[in-house]
Amino acid sequence: MRILTIAIKEFWHNLRNPKVMLLLTLIPIIAILLLGTAVSNQFSNPAISMSNVQIEYYIAGEGSEFATSIVRLMNDFIDKSGTLQRVYQPQESVNRLKHNDIAAYVLINEAEQSVKLYKNQFYYEKAIILEGLLISAINHYNVTHNLTGHEADPSVIIDQAAKDYVSMQGLAGQEWPSAMDYYGVAFSILFVFYGMTTSITNTINDKKNGTLARALLSPAAQKELLVGKIIGEVAIKVIQMAIVIATTMFIYNVNWGAKPQYAFIMIFAQIILSVSIGTALGLIFSREEIAVSLVHIMIVIFAFFGGSYMPLSGLGLLGQIGKFFSPIWWSTTGIFSLIYVGDTAIYSIALLVNVFLALVFIGIASLRIRKKEILVNG
């Protein structure tokens, strides 16, 4: 009961502050609209770079002139910064493609004299170009070796090649995120973390004006005070993000997937993480400007490696390592994989990452919220 009383007090304290409500409500709505509109043409008709293309292929059967000609074509397709690698474990390549570690996976079947191209949503445009080249190569091979079994008009052979000899397996499903879809999800996740600043400000102000000291002298236990404070902060941020998400869904028509409740669960976990970090830092630091500056640096790093400003690619080894340390990357990738691939593996890991980090910072906050320390520092 005391936890609920503390949570309600924290909730109304935030609600009476217009800045708290407007900061994380209007700004993301406006930012999503501006970015989603400004770069929509780049998403629908991007300038496709062929640099750093990584393609893996598997030959089912013994290599022949058919396979050799396909491999030679793919070698010509990529530049010096790309890689073409033959693999012997096809399922591992499919998994790497699902996790966006490679741009495409090609299965060459000698017995069927066919080629199957696997592609994902993050390298979709590059795979489309490769798809066209493969169809052209099959057409050329048909003309040279009469795979169709008759002398036909070249246009018929092209159609026949595309229909019977080259098949495309889209791991990304049928949909491709528009700019509004991308920034609607990515910026919603990003601005959840900006909520850390209000949690820091509220906690430090409570220390300065003696609110925490008086609360710790009351019958409420330290853990009850901490849990109540976190619940109150989480509740107000849930309302803010509900407004943002409702706007993106019903006004901007952002695609949150066939089951948007899973994306909302992820964002709810992120809200808990954001409030936990902000509360812990507010208890650790006595000067608001230091704590807020640290948070802004943290957010920029998380956002850079999380792909909030643009789809994450081409950062080399630094990007490949750094993304795993960004909760924004885990959440964004998890939601997009669920929406466009139907893959729950990354989503589940991302959810666990958010919950684990939230528990870590709640533990840190619980160690700091001691009567003696608060009374001395407050």
Domain identity same for 150 and 209: no
Is residue 10 located within the same domain as residue 147? no
| CATH number for the domain harbouring residue 107 | 3.40.1710
Q: What is the pLDDT of residue 238?
A: 95
Same domain, 136 and 9: no
Return the beta strands (E) in the chain as ranges. 54-60, 83-86, 104-109, 114-119, 166-170
123 and 182 in a single domain? The answer is no
Considering 115, 147, 170, which residue would you say is the last residue of a domain? 170
Quick one: pLDDT at residue 200?
92
For residue 314, being part of any structural domain is answered with yes
Chosen domain end from 170, 192, 227: 170
Residue 77 in domain = yes
Task: Please indicate, yes or no, if residue 287 is contained in any of the structural domains.
Answer: yes
Three-state DSSP class for residue 57: strand
Dihedral angle, C-alpha 20, 22, 23, 29, nearest 10 °: 150
Collapsed DSSP state (helix, strand, coil) of residue 113: coil
User: Is 10 within the bounds of a domain?
Assistant: yes
**pLDDT tens digit string along 324-363?**
889 998 998 889 888 876 778 889 999 999 999 999 999 9
Same domain as 61, residue 28: no
Same domain, 164 and 190: no
Q: Is 114 exposed, middle or buried (0-12, 13-18, 19+ CB in 10 A)?
A: middle
How many domains would you assign to the chain?
2
Q: What is the pLDDT of residue 8?
A: 85
Structural domain that includes position 62? 54-170
User: Residue 83: phi, psi to the nearest 5?
Assistant: -135, 140
Q: Do residues 210 and 279 share a domain?
A: yes
Report pLDDT for 169: 55
Of 141, 170, 199, which closes a domain?
A: 170
Whether residue 60 sits in one domain with residue 35: no
Cβ burial, residue 236 (10 Å; 0-12/13-18/19+) = buried
For position 149, what pLDDT does the model report?
A: 43
Tell me, yes or no, whether 36 and 70 share the same domain.
no
Per-residue pLDDT of the chain (378 residues; tens, 9 = 90+): 678 887 888 888 777 777 767 777 998 999 888 887 776 555 554 444 556 778 899 998 876 777 887 888 788 777 666 888 899 988 888 888 888 888 888 888 887 778 888 877 667 667 766 776 777 666 656 555 544 443 433 332 333 333 444 555 555 444 556 778 888 998 899 999 998 988 998 888 888 887 777 766 665 577 788 888 999 999 999 999 999 999 999 999 999 988 999 999 999 999 999 999 999 999 999 889 999 999 999 998 888 887 666 555 545 566 667 788 899 989 988 898 888 767 788 899 999 999 999 999 999 998 887 654 554 454
Note whether 229 and 351 are same-domain residues. yes
Give the Cα separation of 99 and 14 in Å (integer).
Answer: 40
* pLDDT confidence of residue 206: 83
**Rounded to two decimals, what is the model's pTM?**
0.67
Inside any domain, residue 233: yes
Residue 46 lies in a domain: no
| CB-based contacts of 126, cutoff 8 Å, min separation 6 | 48, 50, 53, 103, 104
Domain assignment of residue 83, yes or no: yes
Specify whether 107 is located in the same domain as 185: no
Cα–Cα–Cα angle for 174, 327, 276, rounded to 5 degrees: 135
- CB atoms under 10 Å from CB of 132, counted, come to 12
Residue 47 lies in a domain: no
In a shared domain, residues 200 and 320: yes
